[in-house]
Amino acid sequence: MGLPHRKLTPGKLVIASHNLGKVAEIKALLAPYGVDPVSAATLGLPEPDETGTSFAANAELKARAAADLSGLRALADDSGLCVEALRGEPGIFSARWAGPDKDFRLAMRLVEEHLERAGPEAGRDAHFVCALSLCWPDGHIETFEGRVDGVLVWPPRGGRGFGYDPMFLPLGHEQTFGEMEPEAKHAMSHRAAAFRQLVAALF
């Protein structure tokens, strides 16, 4: 048997991300639970190097760093796009494919170019993964992982969302994450799936 989950009580919590789109999504997910979120950027916290070899490892190192530096509870997300025909790439390197300027139009184009080189028989199946880690200042940490499956479209569609959202069409839907209203995406995304597990365990 594992250790019992530690309940998350109301109060301040750092969202350990400098990605404005990600911070906005997490704030929206936290809104009903009496938690007062503040972003790492607002607190001037640096972004640690993501040296983990999995989404969970990277989420945990970001959460630990933010909790250590702020003295507050910290929630970190590590997420990315995994393309089956590319052997799971870009995966944990999803943000790096966007380059130093975080240009996800470039990243989406790179994914498409790799798929074209793989040939028409390669398929366009993909999934998003999100690991959420919540760390307390005393080092206690809990991690939850969610996934959503879909296919990639080209050209990208829609100006909502962020990252690879405009080229990701979730299974059973006609709109990409880039076309969906935020509420519709929040209801079914990989981040929402991880968050549902967090809520069930910690509230």
pTM above 0.75, yes or no: yes
**pLDDT for 1 beyond 50:** no
In a domain, 6, yes or no: no
**pLDDT for 21 beyond 90:** no
DSSP annotation of 10: S
In a domain, 194, yes or no: yes
Catalytic residue among 78, 101, 103, 165: 78
- The tokens describing 56, both together, are 């969970």
Alpha helices per DSSP H over 8-54? 20-30
Q: Which helix or strand (DSSP H or E) is residue 66 part of?
A: helix 55-70
**pLDDT for 75 beyond 70:** yes
Residues 41 and 63 sit within 8 Å (Cβ to Cβ): no
Q: Give ∠ CA 86-165-54 in degrees, rounded to 5.
A: 50
Count of the separate structural domains present in the chain = 1
Q: Which helix or strand (DSSP H or E) is residue 126 part of?
A: strand 125-135
- Enclosing domain of residue 172: 11-202
In a domain, 100, yes or no: yes
> What does the pLDDT read at residue 4?
80
In a domain, 4, yes or no: no
Q: 101 an active-site residue?
A: no
What is the mean predicted confidence (pLDDT) over 31-54? 93
Alpha helices per DSSP H over 119-163? none
> What does the pLDDT read at residue 180?
97
User: pLDDT, tens digit, for every residue of 148-161?
Assistant: 999 999 999 999 98
The CATH number of the domain holding residue 139 is: 3.90.950.10
